[in-house]
Chain A
Amino acid sequence: MSAIAIGAKRGGLFRMGENLPAAMLTTVVIVSLIIFAHLAVILWLSFTDGAPGISTVSYGLANYVEVFTDRRTLDVLVNTLGFSVVSLVVALVFGVPAAWFVERTDIRGKTILFTLMTIGMLIPGFAAAMGWLFLMHPRIGLLNVWAMQAFGLSSAPFNIATVIGMGWVQGLNLAPLAFIMTAAVFRAMDPALEEAAQMNRASIFATMRRVTLPLAWPGIMAASIYIFTIGFAAFDVPAIIGWSNRIFTFSTFLYLLISPQDVLPRYGVAAALSTVVMALAAALSWWYGVMQKRSRQFAVVTGKAYRPRIIKLGWVVYPAWTFFALYFLLSKFLPITLLGWSSLLPFFQLPSAQSLSMISLNHYASQPWSLVLTGVQNTAILMLLTPTVTLAVSLAFSWIVLRSKVPGRSFFDFVAFLPHAIPNIIFGVGALLVTLYVLQRVIPLYGTIWLLLIVFSIARISYATRMTNAGLIQIHTELEESAQMSGAPLRRIFRRVLIPLLSPTLLYAWLWIALLTFRELTLAVILSSSTNTTLPVVIWSLWLGGGLGQASALAMVMLAAMAPIIAIYWIVARRHGLMASS
């Protein structure tokens, strides 16, 4: 066969003789280039000296030298490590036993527990952080004031504005993730292994120690690495609690570098710091991959139906319920109640006859309306468009990777994984740098909602492609081929066969991404200005400006607005037997 013959072959992609495959490939290539552009600009700027935009750019390692020698960066690193370790420990302490109770014991109400834990992931981190600040602020914190009055203490016993305090709040927010990830591990465990241990004269506790835990260990490790990575780059909690107390973690410090109040932004140093963290994140995600692989080797692989061994709790059911009640009290009820309480009062104070008489809806009425309306409008547009764009792009990625014969298609699968491996905040910084220093003269995206749309969508591509990949794999290719033989071109195959068959997955993923978009603060804070602000950003700026009551009121409105969408999500998820993962 001649080389020309191979070259003339339509490569499998265009053999359908239509435009859609080419359009999908173009989309995938452009999105991949955008993803790489983010990382490339960070890498490039990290090696530049002085402010970019100046014509005489010189290259060097000055930024890296500064990152590694500056006292402040070292503090930030220590803070971040402490913060992520504490939040990991807290998340595991609550998440792992909860998962074990739901998956492996005869506790009742499993569906409702599972749902509550899953939905818990959607409570915005900043709302919980605000609530905890009202509870444990060294001066005004409810718990502190009470304790000082009750025990005659001279100083506040608790301080949430510490690394440990922030880690505690972040850990409570991450516990649902620990729950979901380890629940999957416990569910996939072969009961025969435990039964064999008991037949070989191991007691229940010996079985747990010698068999159950070692088997679950790689899965728990994988979950731990994943949660640690998220904690490392978390923004909401350190921003709400740490910012005003000058306690910075990696993400808030990065934000300080690019938008300081008094000096010029230091993009070069921010880029260098981001590069260092990217390397760290890459290492962690490699380690995560190793653990995942080991975990899967332990999981049940036989196709035969099995049920994990259910342990009878007996009287332990009471401590178990207390455990769940405690978690929901600490993670949801207390912070939200305090948020609501503070939203009703002119200034934060303890509940008393006097404070009850001051309750009013003033904070709900006296909002900076034009800003709030802009935020509401932008958030609403983004909530509708982000999931739609993300899923359309992800479907193109999945089709190219799984169905086309484009050479090197598996590379695109790797590209779609990148936004997952690299902390969101770095993508935000990358997007900022690209728009400001590369694109601004050609396409002035900065300050527009489209910039947010693009970056939000890219940040969710890893999750969305995982969903569309899983959906597409389950559809037998012959269902598409028979449509082709029936005379349908690809666009009609998508409309009549693929999209209807994928619709439960797509609907489910759409709602989940919409909810995440609704509460997204990190990326929005970095990329927004007064014109493209979103609701969470408005809340944050109110908070920073000292309008605690207004911020609380707006956060309460946001939580209330989430309720109906969460209800729809819950109905969809239940009907299709799907439940979320990250």
Chain B
Amino acid sequence: MIRISHLRMSYRSAGERVAAARDVSIDIKQGQFYTLLGPSGCGKTTTLRCVAGLEEPDEGEIEVGGDLVYSSTRGAWTPPYKRNIGMVFQSYAIWPHMSVFENVAFPLVNGEEKLAREDIRKRVLAALALVKLEAYVDRPAPYLSGGQQQRLALARALVAEPRVLLLDEPLSNLDAKLREEMRVELRELVKRLNVTTLFVTHEQLEALTMSDVVAVMRDGKIIQEGTPHEIYSHPNSAFVAEFIGRTNLIPGMVPQGASAGAEIVVETNMGPVIAQAVSAFAPGEAVFLAIRPEDVEVSRMNGATSSNVFDAQVERLLFLGEAVDSFVRIGGQSFQMRMHPSAAPSFGDSIRVHLPRARCLALSSQ
């Protein structure tokens, strides 16, 4: 439904050209919920705005619904108002001088096709019903709460039945409780309508809970693309492992090389750890050993005879309610593990920890 190939885009800032998107290629299937995730300045919003047509790229091609809307080589360009795309903005961009009805009717009144008054009314009410705002149809738009404005923006983006829905950090202005509700509601709505959705966020939790596919971006490039589960459990770089969820990243070195996917021994300052090689490594290469805090286990095995088992000292405890974060020291290495409160150790305890080898990843330090 959306195909971006070799997109490049740079801005002129203080006399210098700053690259915002560097060779971005994406293919989003019909009905897919696709998320661009990354820290601010990674180029995710630029990519989205290029799809919208609000920015003009330097190079590349963009197809929406099979139509070529931009191509640097073939000179194609469709202005944003002819792309038939729905978009929800970060600030919602609700027109304050119009009522709820007028806001939602705008795409129907000002779009290419001309509709009869009754048709417009019917479709506006249907769109408002989708977001449960039908009771507010005649209210002036500024008299809505933040959450209601958000729904209104969504109704307006959907009313013209666009081929594609673009969401530019739409949840970032909501308070925590409302955001949690809207995550579920938003995903269910677009899934029910089967709208292809491109979503931009810097919140990993939103990306993991809402998406079919997540693409992690950094410095204008997509560095990993996959389902939320793949991205979380098999990050392909230290950056992704750290950006999504929390992880223990321990610098190490591999004495023997290995091919990608094989088991490999990583020498760390806690001792040797057996891990999965995420990519191919040459002997002697510097790596990061990555393991999630919740994957670390308390063990009764003998550290001297079993691999990946270490003696640890509990240095600090952080009570989170549903879990306890324990900060332990193994040799010269500080280490974080997450436990159920009932199983948590006490301050100063000596415990033995086990790092399951299937959960230990050797990541390139590049």
Query: A497 and B95: CB pair below 8 A?
Result: yes
Q: Interface code B45-61, partner A: CB below 8 Å = 1, 0 otherwise? A: 00000001110101100
- B79 & A15 in contact (Cβ 8 Å cutoff): yes
User: Which residue of the partner chain, among B58, B78, B86, B157, contacts A1 with CB atoms under 8 Å?
Assistant: B58
Are A5 and B59 in contact, CB atoms less than 8 angstroms apart?
yes
Please state if B58 and A487 are interface contacts (CB–CB under 8 Å): no
Which residues of B sit under 8 angstroms from A16, Cβ to Cβ?
A: 79-81
How far, in Å, is A474 (CB) from chain B's closest CB? 11
Choose one: B91, B96, B112, B157; the contact of A485 (CB below 8 Å).
Answer: B157
Q: Please give me the residue from chain B that is nearest to A489 by CB atom.
A: B81
Determine whether A140 belongs to the interface, using a CB cutoff of 8 Å to chain B: no
Is chain A's interface secondary structure helix, strand, loop, or mixed overall? Answer: helix
B79 and A1 within 8 A (CB): no
Given A486-B156, A487-B112, the answer on whether A478 and B90 have CB atoms closer than 8 Å is yes
Which residue from B93, B97, B110 sits with its C-beta under 8 Å from A487?
Answer: B110
- Residues of A close to B77: CB separation below 8 A: 10, 15, 17
Question: Contact mask A488-514 → B, CB, 8 Å, 1/0?
Answer: 110010001100110000000000000
What are the residues of chain A within 8 A of B107 when measuring CB–CB? 486-487
Contact of A485 with B86 at beta-carbon distance under 8 Å, contacts A5-B59, A478-B91, A497-B95 already known: yes
Residue numbers of B with Cβ under 8 A of A are 8, 52-54, 56, 58-59, 72, 75, 77-87, 89-93, 95-97, 106-107, 110-112, 153, 156-157, 160, 166
- Residues of chain B within 8 A (CB-CB) of A560 are none
Cα A449 to Cα B89 with chains together (Å): 48
CB distance from B236 to the nearest CB of A (A): 29
Given contacts A8-B75, A478-B89, are A484 and B54 in contact (CB under 8 A)?
yes
11 extra interface residue pairs, beta carbon distance < 8 Å, beyond A481-B89, A488-B111 = A1-B8, A8-B72, A18-B79, A478-B89, A481-B80, A483-B95, A483-B106, A485-B86, A487-B81, A487-B84, A489-B81
Q: Tell me the complex Cα distance, A21–B239, Å.
A: 43
CA distance A16 to B56 in the complex (A): 10
Most interface-central of B75, B80, B160 (chain A CB within 10 A) = B80
- Interchain CA distance A93-B83 in the complex, whole Å: 63
B111: chain A residues within 8 A (beta carbon): 486-488
Contacts of A1 in B (CB 8 A): 8, 58-59
A contact residues around B157 at 8 Å (CB): 485
By a CB distance below 8 angstroms, the chain A residues around B8 are 1
**B110 and A485 contact, CB distance less than 8 A:** no
Cβ of B96 and Cβ of A486 under 8 Å apart?
no
B28 vs chain A, min Cβ distance (A):
18
A485-B58 contact given A476-B93, A497-B95, A501-B97, CB 8 Å threshold: no
Query: A213 to nearest B CB, angstroms?
Result: 39
A12 within 8 A of B: yes
Q: Do A479 and B72 contact each other (CB < 8 Å), given the known contacts A1-B59, A486-B81?
A: no
CA distance A485 to B85 in the complex (A): 6
The answer to whether B91 and A487 have CB atoms under 8 Å apart is: no
In the assembled complex, how far is the CB of residue B76 from the closest CB belonging to chain A, in whole angstroms? 12
Known contacts being A487-B110, A496-B110, is A479 close to B58, with CB within 8 Å? no
A-B CB contact pairs (8 Å), 14 listed:
A1-B58, A5-B58, A10-B56, A15-B53, A15-B77, A17-B78, A17-B79, A478-B91, A483-B106, A485-B85, A487-B107, A487-B160, A497-B95, A500-B97
- Tell me whether chain B's interface is mostly helix, strand or loop, or mixed: loop
A482 B87 Cβ-Cβ under 8 A: yes
Residue of A5, A485, A496 touching B52 (CB-CB under 8 A) = A485
- A488-B93 contact in complex given A5-B58, A15-B77, A482-B87, C-beta closer than 8 Å: no
Question: With A1-B8, A489-B81 given, is the CB distance from A15 to B56 under 8 Å?
Answer: yes
Do A486 and B79 contact each other (CB < 8 Å), given the known contacts A5-B59, A478-B91, A478-B93?
Answer: no
* Chain A residue with Cβ nearest B87: A485
Judge if A353 is at the interface, Cβ distance under 8 Å: no
Q: How far is the CA of A31 from the CA of B93 in the complex (A)?
A: 33
Which residue among A10, A478, A485 has the maximum number of chain B CB atoms within 10 Å of its CB?
A485
Taken together as a complex, chains A and B put the C-alpha atoms of A317 and B93 apart, in Å, by: 49
A443 located at the interface, meaning its Cβ lies under 8 Å from any Cβ of chain B in the complex: no
Query: How far is B135's CA from A512's CA once the two chains are assembled, in angstroms?
Result: 42
Contact A481 B59, beta carbon cutoff 8 Å: no
For the complex, what is the distance from the CA of A10 to the CA of B72, rounded to whole Å?
Answer: 11
Q: Which residues of A contact B87 (CB under 8 A)?
A: 481-482, 485
B93-A479 in contact (CB<8A): yes
Whether, in the assembled complex, A576 has its beta carbon less than 8 Å from a beta carbon of chain B, the answer is no
Interface centre among A8, A12, A15, A18 (most CB of B within 10 A): A15
Nearest CB to that of B91 among chain A residues? A478
- CB pair A501 B96 closer than 8 Å: yes
- Chain A residues whose C-beta falls within 8 Å of the C-beta of B96 in the assembled complex: 501
Q: Knowing A5-B72, A17-B79, A482-B93, say if A488 contacts B56 (CB, 8 Å).
A: no
User: How far, in whole Å, are A488 and B89 apart by their CA atoms in the complex?
Assistant: 16
Contact A496 B106 (CB under 8 A): yes
Q: How far is B77's CA from A492's CA once the two chains are assembled, in angstroms?
A: 20
- Check if B97 sits within 8 Å of A485, measured CB to CB: no
Closest to B54 in A: A481
B81: chain A residues at CB < 8 Å are: 16, 484-489
CB distance from A205 to the nearest CB of B (A): 48
- A483 to chain B minimum Cβ distance, whole angstroms, is 7
The docked-state distance in angstroms from the alpha carbon of A487 to that of B56 is 17
A488 touches B59 (CB 8 A): no
Partner of B160, one of A17, A478, A486: A486
- Complex Cα spacing A526 to B236, Å: 77
Tell me if B97 and A9 are in contact (CB < 8 A): no
Question: Nearest residue in A to B153 (C-beta to C-beta)?
Answer: A482
- Say yes or no: B56 contacts A482, CB within 8 Å: no
Leading 10 A-B pairs by shortest Cβ distance = A487-B111, A486-B107, A482-B93, A17-B79, A478-B93, A488-B110, A485-B87, A478-B89, A484-B80, A500-B97
Do B89 and A482 have beta carbons less than 8 Å apart?
yes
State whether A483 and B110 are in contact (beta carbons under 8 Å apart), knowing that A1-B58, A501-B97 are contacts in the complex: yes
Which single residue of chain B is at the shortest CB-CB distance from A495? B110
- The answer, yes or no, to whether A6 is at the interface (CB within 8 Å) is yes
Chain A hits for B72, CB < 8 A: 5, 8
- List A contacts of B110 (CB < 8 A): 483, 486-488, 492, 496
A479: B residues at CB distance < 8 A: 93, 95
Name the CB-closest residue of A to B75.
A8
Chain A residue nearest to B85 (CB atoms) is A485
- Closest residue to B113 on the A side, CB-wise? A487
Q: Are A487 and B89 in contact (CB under 8 A)?
A: no
Which residue of B is nearest A503, CB measured?
B97
B residues near A12, Cβ cutoff 8 Å: 56
CA distance A1 to B6 in the complex (A): 12
Residue ID in chain B nearest A485 by CB atoms: B87
- Contact present for B58 and A9 (CB under 8 Å): yes
